[in-house]
Every structure is written in C-alpha cells, then in structure tokens.
C-alpha cells in the first residue's frame, strides 16, 4: 500500500492502475503543457447560459475554477487518482469556456475534451475514446470547410497569408504561379488532408499513415506560422499517441560498444516504470544497437529513434522546449529537426550511410 502510494507520488511515473501507460503519458504531458503556458480556465464574462452569471461573483467563480485546476494537477501528478485529476482539469476548462462567450477557443476546447475523455477512459476501453476524439476533431474541421466556397477558390488562404499575415515566403512563392493558384491548392489540400486524417484514424492498418500525414500537416503549419495556436499543437500531437502501440517492455542488448552501454545506463537512470530490460548476450554482442519491442527487433538508427520516442521524459522535455515561449524563435527549427529525425526516410538514409545498403532495419 505504502509502496503504491510512493510510486504514485512520483510525477515522472507513467504507470497507473486505472489507465494504460500511453494515456498516462498523454495526461501528464498535456498537464505539463498547460502549466508551462500558464493556461487557466477563462474568467466569467457573458456566459452562454444566463444562470451561470447568478452562481457566484466573477472573482469567486474564477477562484473556484482555478482551485479545481490546481487540485486536478496535484491529483494527476502526485496521487493514484489520476482520472479524477483529469476530470477536474477538463471540467474546469470546459466550464470556463461556457462561462465566457468572447473567449471561444478551439484549442482550449480540445484540451478540455481530451482531459474529459481521459477521465472517462479505463484499462478496459484503452485508447478507443481518445482515438474517436481525434477523428471527431478532424471530421468536424473538414465538414466546416467542405461547404465553404472560399476554401475551394483560394479566398480563405489568400486572406490569411497575404492580407492578415503578409507572409513574405508565401507571397514570394505565390508570385511564381498564376494569381490565386497557390491559395486554391492550399485550401483544397487542407480539406483533403483533414478528410484523409479522419479516415486513416478509423482503421488500425492506416494509423501509421495518419500519424505521418498529421505530423507533416501540423509541422508544416508550425514551420510556416511559427506559432502553436495556443496549446493546440502540443495537444493534437500528443493525442496521436492513442494510435501508437505502447510497449510493455523494451529489450536492449547491453553488450558491444561503450556508447551503447552508456546509452543503456542513461535510459535506465530515467526509467521509473521499468520499461527497459537489459538483455545479456554472449560474446561481443551485435555490432549495431539492437532493441526488441512488441515482438519485433530493430537495429541501428531505427532502434535509436524508437528508444528516444518511447521515452516519456524525453517526450516531456520536447514538449517543454516546444511550449516554453523563450524558445519561440527556434520553434520552427525544432519542429523541422524533429520531423526529419523521426521520418522513415531518415532511418533509411542513416542505415545507408552506415551499412552501404538499403536493407530494412527491422526483423
């Protein structure tokens, strides 16, 4: 009992009795993003429902919502009541949105919805609800554009990129084509990408395609605009974890070169969930890094990519760097680096450099 409480009190742990590890990672990183950004529920002002105005004075109302949020964060990070924490944070943000008509924000609505969905999820339902939430977001976004002529004739993108943002690179690129052509193509691509994402995330065998397409779509948006649209970028990227098969254990071959042993040691030091399992091999061991997860073996750079990817601490650090405003000027470069680092093409390229052949890095 005491041991369980101590384990739960570690904010860096990612195992929980009520939720699968991947959803714990989603909840904690999402909460971390809100804390770094200093996001709070919106203040009471012109609520959608009049009765909300009569509940309490605006100051008291906001204090209660902030109290709910902070209590939620404490439950989420330091106790076994992770789902209750998610419910408090999600409800506080949703009530804040409903209490303030001028504060309408799709980004904060999505964050609130994610926390509520996490609170309603369980080991039995797994990531199903979160997956459907992602599908709902893209299907809704697509449907809202589908019937708008300005998305098909380029008017929307022209206004966004030229009139509103006077985006130099966009204007220069658009000048290479006939008038409105680039804006028309961008509008149509956006509609079809969102449609494709909502379809890809409905079918297990298309999840990976959806993830690559989605990360490229949102990554390009960040690179172009250098903004995160509030907490939206991190929230959508982190919810893609719902489509990833989170390993119960990663076996790393511990023999071989010194750097491999150092890497294994470093990962073990931040492994609070005992995810990594060292495998002793006879002799000098394989010449390349080798890991086994979900019944498949990976070698070399592909193995290294996965070790970095399946590490919640590294993931939290990436979220911190992408969210913290001081790194704002570098954000587009960080996103570009991450997209390139994790791209399958990069795996093939590094493998080619190392081995001189394009042999697959999996078995």
Please report, as ranges, the residues that interact with another protein according to CB under 8 A. 45-46, 48, 50, 97, 100-104, 106-107, 109-110, 113, 116-117, 119-122, 124-125, 128-129, 132-133, 136-137, 139-141, 143-145, 147-148, 150, 155-156, 158-160, 163-164, 229, 232
**Owner of token pair 């609070």:** 272
CB of 150 to another protein, least distance (A): 4
Judged on CB neighbours under 10 Å (0-12, 13-18, 19+), 51 is exposed
In the bound state with another protein, the residue whose beta carbon lies nearer, of 130 and 250, is 130
In the bound state with another protein, the residue whose beta carbon lies nearer, of 70 and 229, is 229
CB of 239 to another protein, least distance (A): 13
CA dist 359 and 141 (Å) reads 40
In the bound state with another protein, the residue whose beta carbon lies nearer, of 164 and 274, is 164
Q: Comparing C-alpha atoms, which of 335, 251, 347 is closest to residue 291?
A: 251
CB of 196 to another protein, least distance (A): 16
CA dist 260 and 285 (Å) reads 11
CB of 232 to another protein, least distance (A): 7
In the bound state with another protein, the residue whose beta carbon lies nearer, of 11 and 58, is 58
At 291, which helix (H) or strand (E)? strand 290-293
Which two tokens mark 19? 């939720």
CA dist 150 and 172 (Å) reads 22
CA dist 41 and 89 (Å) reads 9
CB of 166 to another protein, least distance (A): 13
In the bound state with another protein, the residue whose beta carbon lies nearer, of 88 and 139, is 139
CA dist 84 and 90 (Å) reads 10
In the bound state with another protein, the residue whose beta carbon lies nearer, of 150 and 255, is 150
Q: CB neighbours (10 Å) of residue 189?
A: 13
CB of 269 to another protein, least distance (A): 35
**Owner of token pair 């902070």:** 70
In the bound state with another protein, the residue whose beta carbon lies nearer, of 50 and 168, is 50
CB of 78 to another protein, least distance (A): 22
Answer for the pair 116, 91: CB distance below 8 angstroms, yes or no: yes
Strands 276-279 and 250-253 turn out to be parallel
């Amino acid at each position: 009992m005491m041991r369980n409480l101590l384990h739960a009190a570690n904010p860096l742990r990612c195992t929980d009795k009520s939720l699968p590890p991947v959803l714990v990672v989603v909840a904690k990183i999402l909460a971390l993003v809100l804390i770094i950004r200093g996001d709070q529920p919106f203040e009471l002002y012109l609520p959608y429902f009049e009765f909300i105005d009569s509940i309490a004075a605006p100051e008291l109302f906001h204090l209660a919502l902030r109290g709910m949020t902070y209590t939620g964060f404490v439950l989420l990070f330091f106790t076994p009541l992770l789902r209750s924490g998610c419910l408090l944070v999600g409800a506080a943000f949703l009530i804040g949105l409903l209490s303030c008509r001028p504060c309408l924000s799709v980004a904060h609505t999505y964050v609130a919805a994610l926390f509520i969905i996490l609170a309603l999820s369980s080991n039995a339902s797994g990531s199903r609800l979160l997956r459907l939430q992602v599908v709902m977001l893209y299907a809704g976004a697509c449907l809202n554009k589908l019937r708008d002529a300005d998305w098909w004739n380029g008017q929307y993108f022209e206004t966004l990129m030229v009139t509103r943002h006077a985006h130099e690179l966009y204007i220069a690129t658009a000048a290479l084509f006939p008038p409105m052509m680039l804006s028309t193509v961008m509008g149509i691509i956006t509609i079809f990408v969102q449609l494709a994402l909502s379809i890809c995330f409905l079918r297990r065998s298309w999840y990976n395609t959806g993830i690559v397409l989605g990360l490229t779509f949102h990554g390009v948006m960040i690179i172009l605009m250098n903004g995160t649209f509030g907490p939206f970028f991190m929230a959508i990227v982190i919810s893609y974890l719902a489509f990833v098969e989170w390993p119960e254990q990663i076996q790393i071959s511990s023999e071989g070169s010194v750097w491999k042993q150092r890497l294994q040691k470093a990962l073990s030091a931040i492994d609070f969930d005992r995810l990594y399992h060292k495998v002793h091999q006879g002799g000098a061991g394989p010449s390349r890094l080798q890991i086994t997860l979900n019944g498949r073996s990976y070698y070399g750079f592909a193995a290294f990519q996965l070790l970095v990817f399946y590490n919640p601490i590294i993931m939290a650090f990436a979220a911190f760097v992408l969210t913290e405003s001081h790194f704002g000027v570098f954000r587009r470069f960080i996103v570009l680096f991450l997209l390139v680092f994790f791209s399958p093409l990069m795996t093939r390229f590094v493998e080619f450099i190392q081995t001189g052949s394009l042999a697959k890095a999996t078995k």
